[in-house]
Chain A
C-alpha cells in the first residue's frame, strides 16, 4: 500500500468521523438519514480503495452491491418517515 493510498484512507476516515458527529448532534430525522447515507458512500469508497491494493479482484462487485443496498435502504426509510408506511 503506497503513501497516497494511506493518505486518502485517512482523509475519508476523518470525513466519516465528521458524519458520525453530525448524526449524533442532528435535530431532525432527515439529517440523520442523510448522514447515514454519507457514511455508506464513504464505506463504498473505502472498499474500492482496499480493492486497488489487494490481490483479490472482487472488491468492485462488493462495492456495487453496497452502493445498491445503501440507495434502497435510504429510499425505504425516507418513504417510511414520510408516509408512515413503506408501500401504499
Chain B
C-alpha cells in the first residue's frame, strides 16, 4: 500500500491512540466496561491495522510467529502462576486475598495480574489468527 498516502498517514497517527485506548481498557477494567479480553482485542486490532497497511513482512519482522506463541503462553503462565500462589499460601485456586498483606491489596494485585495475563494471551491469539488466515491460500 505504498502509493496510498492517506491510509498510511492516518494509520501512523491513529495507531498510538488505539494502543493507548487498549491500555486504558486494560487498566481501567475494574471501574468501567472492559477487562483483559476486550483490551487484548483492541490492542491486536491496532497491530492488525499496521500489518494491513504496511505489508505483512514488516509486521512479522516486528513480531514474528514464534514470539507471538511465546507471549501467548507467557500470559497463560502468568494466570496459572497467580492461581497456584493462592494454593501454595494455603487457600483456594486464584485466592486473591492471600497475595498481599491486606485483603484489599491482595484483590487489587490479583485482578491486575490475572487481567494482564488474559490481555497478553488474547492479543497474541488474535494476531496469530490473523497470521494463520493469511497463510491459508499459500500452501
Does A68 lie within 8 Å of B18, measured CB to CB? yes
Does B45 lie within 8 Å of A79, measured CB to CB? no
Q: Does any Cβ of A come within 8 Å of B87's Cβ?
A: no
Does B34 lie within 8 Å of A61, measured CB to CB? yes
Which residues from chain A contact B137 at a C-beta distance below 8 Å? 85
Q: Within the complex, what minimum Cβ distance (angstroms) separates A59 from chain B?
A: 9
Contact of A72 among B48, B55, B56, B134 (CB under 8 A): B48
Q: Does any Cβ of B come within 8 Å of A76's Cβ?
A: yes
Contact of A68 among B32, B45, B55, B134 (CB under 8 A): B45
Q: Does any Cβ of A come within 8 Å of B33's Cβ?
A: yes
Known: A58-B33, A61-B34, A87-B134. A72 touches B53 (CB 8 A): no
CA distance in complex: A72, B52 (Å): 9
Which residues from chain A contact B1 at a C-beta distance below 8 Å? 79
Known: A61-B34, A87-B51. A68 touches B42 (CB 8 A): yes
Query: How many residues from A make CB contacts under 8 Å with B?
Result: 17
Contact of B33 among A61, A68, A79, A86 (CB under 8 A): A61
Q: Does any Cβ of A come within 8 Å of B16's Cβ?
A: no
Does B25 lie within 8 Å of A72, measured CB to CB? no
- What residues of chain B have their CB less than 8 Å away from a CB belonging to chain A? 1, 7, 14, 18, 21, 25, 32-34, 38, 42, 45, 48-49, 51-53, 55-56, 59, 133-134, 137
